[in-house]
Structure 1
Amino acid sequence: MWGGAAEPQAWGAGRAEPSRAVLIRAGVTENRSDFEDLHLYATPREQRFRRFASLEFEGQLYMTPYDFIQAVTSDEPKRKQEFKMLKLLGRMSRELNQILMETPPVWKGSSKLFRNLNEKGVISYTEYLFLLCILTKPHAGFRIAFNMFDTDGNEMVDKKEFLVLQEIFRKKNEKREKRGDEEKRAMLRLQLYGYHTPTNSVLKTEGEDLVPRSYWDTLRRSTSQALFSDLAERADDISSSLSDTTLLVHFFGKKGKAELNFEDFYRFMDNLQTEVLEIEFLSYSNGMNTISEEDFAHILLRYTNVENTSSYLENMRCSIPEEKGITFEEFRSFFQFLNNLEDFTIAMQMYNFASRSIGQDEFKRAVYVATGVKLSPHLVNTVFKIFDVDRDDQLSYKEFIGIMKDRLNRGFREAPKYGWKEYYSCVMTVTSEHLRDLWKQFRRRDMLR
């Protein structure tokens, strides 16, 4: 339920189940109590991924593109819980390859990529986190993201560079794991990351001295971007042991030899943001070019911690008696503003607006100056009518920002952040820790000689 109203029909709801020549539904591979027990050791994002993922491959859980869209646009999975997992028939590698054959190259991408792929794709947990991160990032942050992956600075990203993402999230997970039953935590690691043991032991081959290896042996970073010169001598061996996914094939081709340039990377991120917004908009528009102001309010208040949404909705109904409607362009521009919310917050603090309420003209001007996004007068008026509870045509900055941060992060504010700033901080932390470990190992070896 959204603010007392029935949840709209989401994309794909009510349609016939897609044909599965190679996939068949199977029961959950672990019993219900075990499945719920693991939730106790999982973060909110991990819990949501496990709840929506419908594919299991060699013990690791994956989402289909359909699952991902459902996870970011629906409150609960449309499928029954007993059909949580999907098993592949026959030789798993052959069946997985048949699914990945449906993946188009990145230059053929569009804002309907996930809808077109539907059930014919696999998305890992680390890729799920990456895609969530994209949904909340401003366009200006796309270049920063690309530079983070472009570790050799050649303006191209290859598959090995992209796989650094998986290693970073694995390391991040090891640092924040909840204490408790080691067996349960090992099962959770297998489901989400596809491994049992700590990453260092995975990166060591037989016969080697116990010197841990990682993707970060040498740090050469300017102030703007971190460059890792030695991206693991055995990166080919590591990547070949991982199952290919839809995202890897989309970016780097079926053979994994293609490279990703910034233009294609930017277009992919922009298309993903547009696709999710289109799905949310279309779920309310019923084929029309606009959604009602009340529907817009429902969407804004979704995923927030607002308990009494009815007061906001009633306030808006009284303030906007005649419906004009919100177009998709207005809808999209507002969410582009939300993706720039951090810059807007800083600007408001600099101009001392954070300590008082502001009017519509001030708000509209501040949004444009801080983010470069132009909001239509009707859209600004609608936002004010939703949040101006005391009806003085002023907006409470603190309350508005708090609610919008919830909406931006889709209800995961309490979860660990995976923004680009946190991404960089994580990289620096893991790098320094790894270098310290290496130094200790080398000193120990020298003492034994």
Structure 2
Amino acid sequence: MTAEDLMRAVVPVFPPSESHLVRDGYLKGERNPGELRCTSSDFFMLFDMNNDGLISFKEYIFFATLLSIPESSFSVAFRMFDVNNNGEIDKAEFKKVMALMRAQNRQGTVHRDGFRPGLKVHGSVENGGLVEHFFGKDGKARLQHDKFIQFMKDLNDEILRLEFAHYDYKLRGTISAKDFALSMVASADMSHLGKLLDRVDEINDQSNLGGLRITLEEFKSFAELRKMLLPFSLALFSYGKVNGLLMREDFKRAASHVCGVSLSDNVVEIIFHLFDSNRDGSLSADEFVRVLHNRERDIAQPVQSEHPGFLSCCFNRAANSPIGRFIF
């Protein structure tokens, strides 16, 4: 697969609204309306270790595993395998960490060694992707914890940049309110997608929304909020239950005080247009959280352990709570 295919595998997108490629089908010579429009990315070519311009299936599994790793989970595993407690691990130890992380990823579990049913794929997952980049051709270099965490942050930033570039069809450096809304609802359940897309289509008819433009920094801030969905949703549901209504100021305060994320007024206006279902000025928090959770779930694709322990019991109890029903 190409870097473009790799992105399509993990990022749900709609055709950008400014491209006019919104009809079903396309004529010969035209770009596929559903094609992900990405600028070139040297970063993702780090996964192309044999320099053939393509990313193999085992390299894709490596990529999917990296994306599924929360920073906190990797840090715990890293420290457990860092027997010298010097903040570094060698290639063999890194393979153990990645195998452990891959066991928590649905696709990584099914395709345990990079083998796909019906296809002959040579080499294991741990020998593909970025292993050579981290440990050198001789495999003797050591990986520092801080270096890997920074790499993970750069990886997520690159995904966001390419997604933003897809919607910035005319290369303005900003995207329309409608495109930002499309990026939000792209992971919605099919049962809710229709009504959300109807609300998206109404944006250009709204005098307070039609002319809004969203910058890359605003786009990144909203993505940062998605990563902190659990504490943020707890704040939203708790406040909404006590006060009955969840207004714009409450939403911004929860993002800022609980998650340390500053959202612009433009971003909040678009969110409330999509998720204030009865137009009373109060956010429909359950609908909003469900869509955000779907986006993070699509990337991480966690699997449940066959032997639920203490943490599994905690998650099960949380899932049965009013808040957990929308998160787990």
**Do they fold alike, i.e. is TM over 0.5?**
yes
Question: Aligned ranges for residues 111-126 of structure 1 at < 5 Å?
Answer: 112-114=42-44, 119=53, 122=56, 123-124=58-59, 126=61
Give yes or no for contact 1:406–1:412 (8 Å, CA) kept in 2: no
Aligned-partner SS, 2:212: coil
Change in Cα spacing, 1:251 to 1:417, as seen in structure 2 (3 Å) is farther
Instruction: Determine the structure 1 residue equivalent to 2:212.
Output: 324
Structure 1 residue corresponding to 2:88, chosen from 156, 179, 185: 156
Change in Cα spacing, 1:164 to 1:368, as seen in structure 2 (3 Å) is same
Read off the aligned partner of 1:392 and give its amino acid letter: D
Instruction: Determine the structure 2 residue equivalent to 1:108.
Output: none
Give yes or no for contact 1:347–1:366 (8 Å, CA) kept in 2: yes
Instruction: Determine the structure 2 residue equivalent to 1:236.
Output: none
State how many pairs are aligned. 265
Give yes or no for contact 2:62–2:126 (8 Å, CA) kept in 1: no
Bigger Cα displacement from structure 2, 145-154 vs 249-258 = 145-154
CA separation in 2, counterparts of 1:268 and 1:352? 38
CA separation in 1, counterparts of 2:289 and 2:276? 13
CA separation in 1, counterparts of 2:210 and 2:104? 50
Change in Cα spacing, 1:260 to 1:338, as seen in structure 2 (3 Å) is same
Instruction: Determine the structure 2 residue equivalent to 1:290.
Output: 174
Aligned-partner SS, 2:193: coil
CA separation in 2, counterparts of 1:245 and 1:326? 37
CA separation in 2, counterparts of 1:342 and 1:289? 31
Give yes or no for contact 1:356–1:396 (8 Å, CA) kept in 2: no
Instruction: Determine the structure 2 residue equivalent to 1:372.
Output: 260
Read off the aligned partner of 2:158 and give its amino acid letter: E
CA separation in 1, counterparts of 2:104 and 2:116? 12
Structure 2 residue corresponding to 1:416, chosen from 291, 296, 303: 303
Structure 1 residue corresponding to 2:62, chosen from 127, 149, 157: 127
Give yes or no for contact 2:248–2:268 (8 Å, CA) kept in 1: yes
- Note the C-alpha offset of 1:269: 0.9
Q: Let me know the Cα RMSD of the aligned residues.
A: 3.7
Change in Cα spacing, 1:120 to 1:310, as seen in structure 2 (3 Å) is closer
Does the alignment pair 1:147 with 2:76?
yes
Structure 2 residue corresponding to 1:261, chosen from 128, 135, 144: 144
Aligned-partner SS, 2:198: helix
Mark the structure with the bigger radius of gyration: 1
Change in Cα spacing, 1:162 to 1:113, as seen in structure 2 (3 Å) is same
Does the alignment pair 1:248 with 2:131?
yes
CA separation in 2, counterparts of 1:425 and 1:351? 26
Change in Cα spacing, 1:391 to 1:114, as seen in structure 2 (3 Å) is same
CA separation in 1, counterparts of 2:222 and 2:296? 11
Instruction: Determine the structure 1 residue equivalent to 2:18.
Output: none
CA separation in 2, counterparts of 1:260 and 1:425? 29
- Encode CA deviations 1:123-182: one digit per residue, 9 max, x unaligned: 446523322215xx4xxxx355233123223211221221113433676689x98xxxxx
Change in Cα spacing, 1:189 to 1:117, as seen in structure 2 (3 Å) is closer
Instruction: Determine the structure 2 residue equivalent to 1:405.
Output: 293
Instruction: Determine the structure 2 residue equivalent to 1:363.
Output: 251
Read off the aligned partner of 1:316 and give its amino acid letter: I
Read off the aligned partner of 1:70 and give its amino acid letter: R
Gaps spanning 5+ residues in structure 2: where?
15-40, 118-122, 313-328
- Note the C-alpha offset of 1:359: 0.5
Change in Cα spacing, 1:261 to 1:355, as seen in structure 2 (3 Å) is farther
Question: Aligned ranges for residues 13-412 of structure 1 at < 5 Å?
Answer: 54=1, 65-73=3-11, 112-114=42-44, 119=53, 122=56, 123-124=58-59, 126-134=61-69, 137=70, 142=71, 144-150=73-79, 151=81, 152=83, 153-168=85-100, 191-192=114-115, 244-285=127-168, 286-305=170-189, 306-308=192-194, 309-319=196-206, 320-351=208-239, 353=241, 356-410=244-298
Aligned-partner SS, 2:160: helix
Give yes or no for contact 1:384–1:393 (8 Å, CA) kept in 2: yes
Change in Cα spacing, 1:171 to 1:117, as seen in structure 2 (3 Å) is closer
Change in Cα spacing, 1:291 to 1:75, as seen in structure 2 (3 Å) is closer
CA separation in 1, counterparts of 2:225 and 2:167? 21
Give yes or no for contact 1:337–1:371 (8 Å, CA) kept in 2: yes
- Note the C-alpha offset of 1:372: 0.8
CA separation in 1, counterparts of 2:285 and 2:141? 47
Give yes or no for contact 1:149–1:164 (8 Å, CA) kept in 2: no
Give yes or no for contact 1:121–1:245 (8 Å, CA) kept in 2: no
Identity among equivalent positions (%) equals 28
- Encode CA deviations 1:52-109: one digit per residue, 9 max, x unaligned: xx4xxxxxxxxx6554223123679xxxxxxxxxxxxxxxxxxxxxxxxxxxxxxxxx
CA separation in 2, counterparts of 1:332 and 1:258? 33
- Note the C-alpha offset of 1:242: 7.3
Read off the aligned partner of 2:256 and give its amino acid letter: Y
Instruction: Determine the structure 2 residue equivalent to 1:27.
Output: none
CA separation in 2, counterparts of 1:387 and 1:271? 31
- Note the C-alpha offset of 1:412: 7.3
Give yes or no for contact 1:312–1:389 (8 Å, CA) kept in 2: no
